Amino acid sequence: MEQFKFIDLFSGIGGFHQAMEQLGGECVFASEIDKFCNAQYERNYGMSSDINIRDVKEEELPAFDVLCAGFPCQAFSKAGKQQGLEDKTRGTLFFEIVRILKHHHTPYIVLENVRNLVSHDNGNTWRIIQESLRELGYRTTAEPLILSPHFFGIPQIRERVIILGKYDPDNIDEPLNIDLGKLNAKEDNSIYSVLEEREVDKSYYISEYEEMVLQAWDEFYQGINLKVIGFPVWADYFKYKGTYDGLPDWKAGFIKKNVKLYEDNKEFIDGWLKKYNNLKKFTKTHHKMEWQCGTDIASIWDGVIQFRPSGIRIKKPNNFQALVAMVQIPIIGKYRRRLTVEEAARLQSFPVDDEIKPFIPDDNRQQAYKQFGNSVNVEVIRRAAEALFKN
């Protein structure tokens, strides 16, 4: 399609908007109830998105060729409660889409959701969505289309299901042909491709305390005889003398591994604990370290670090997990600072570096991280839609 019109439902900060515009689309309607997202939408695209989809009368929508919707994933997310279609407030938002499609017979649809949607409620949610689209006259892909930015050379592992549809009731049994070309493997991507090499605002750098804690755990890693640590290291259990009776197997196993780690490295660990005064200055959650890098990196300072409630987690720089509505902003070990808002934008393929029409993130940093975490990856949608439009 050379020129087309689209609507952007649950529009957030416009991940779909970006992708569709890049393909030659013009946005004729957007709907979003979050006021911070509304402000960003207005600022970046010069149009209002401030309307609840439930208040929209389908017959009043302007004509359009593509319906885009990343319907809210709270009820479907693995992280949240496993509710679903019976969840009245959120589960039925898909039916807002159905209502609009029924009236408009929109030629193409591009929907996005968490990967978990496919297996949610024993496959029932997925089945209902597929059956509804079929009943409305939409051909879809034979299998759920699971895509991640890392397939396209963007260093983020974020698997999402993309539901593509073409209105074609006469050929409803013919699956769509979606050719995405050769896809990259995880290992081909490095976080450094989106990082600033120059100095960034000083507020992004880690604190002295954080540096001390990470330095301590790096010394620990360097000092012990184990390089692939397949369990969370928890200093509070090194000298455990209690009983294992009544503990769940996973917990007993985990404690035993920590006790053994201590026994095998007693001399070093005793010196380490002494040097750091038995971790007395460490926050409780920093007594725990999860090394999730195998032997791919040799130091914490080569990894991507997160201070999580479950402990300090270290990941490889080419295995960057999904940016979610982030509270614990990842730390780039090599630069001793957190990921900047612009870098988060690049992970979601928002054109913050574009010279003509750059995307301007929210001035409120926490809001900006949250918005990028909730957004779709622009490149994923662009590539999927491009392939769809060839049908």
Ligand X SMILES: C[S@@+](CC[C@H](N)C(=O)[O-])C[C@H]1O[C@@H](n2cnc3c(N)ncnc32)[C@H](O)[C@@H]1O
Active site residues: 73
- Per CB under 6 A, 361 contacts ligand X: no
- Per CB under 6 A, 156 contacts ligand X: no
Give the shortest CB-81-to-ligand X separation in angstroms. Answer: 16
Stretch that binds ligand X, among 48-56, 175-183, 226-234, 286-294 (CB under 6 A): 48-56
Rounded Cα gap, residues 301 and 368, in angstroms: 26
Residue nearest to ligand X (CB): 12
- Per CB under 6 A, 25 contacts ligand X: no
For residue 104, what is the DSSP state? H
Residues linked to residue 291 through DSSP beta bridges, in sequence order = 314
Stretch that binds ligand X, among 26-34, 99-107, 164-172, 290-298 (CB under 6 A): 26-34
Beta strands in 72-159 (DSSP E): 108-114, 138-139, 145-147
Give the shortest CB-224-to-ligand X separation in angstroms. Answer: 42
Q: Of 21, 23, 31, 195, which one interacts with ligand X (CB under 6 A)?
A: 31
- Per CB under 6 A, 161 contacts ligand X: no
Site string for ligand X, 306-325 (x = CB under 6 A): --------------------
- Per CB under 6 A, 52 contacts ligand X: yes
Q: Of 73, 176, 297, 384, which one interacts with ligand X (CB under 6 A)?
A: 73
Return the closest-CA partner of residue 7 out of 75, 76, 107, 89: 107
Strand order in the sheet with 304-308: 233-234, 288-292, 311-315, 304-308, 331-332, 337-338
Q: Of 24, 26, 48, 54, which one interacts with ligand X (CB under 6 A)?
A: 54
Query: Reduced to 3 states, what is the DSSP secondary structure of residue 7?
Result: strand
The count of residues in the chain is: 391
DSSP secondary structure string for all residues of 303-332: SEEEEETTEEEEE-TT-PBP--S-SS--EE
Interface residue list for ligand X (CB under 6 A): 10-16, 31-34, 37, 52-54, 70, 72-73, 93, 374-376
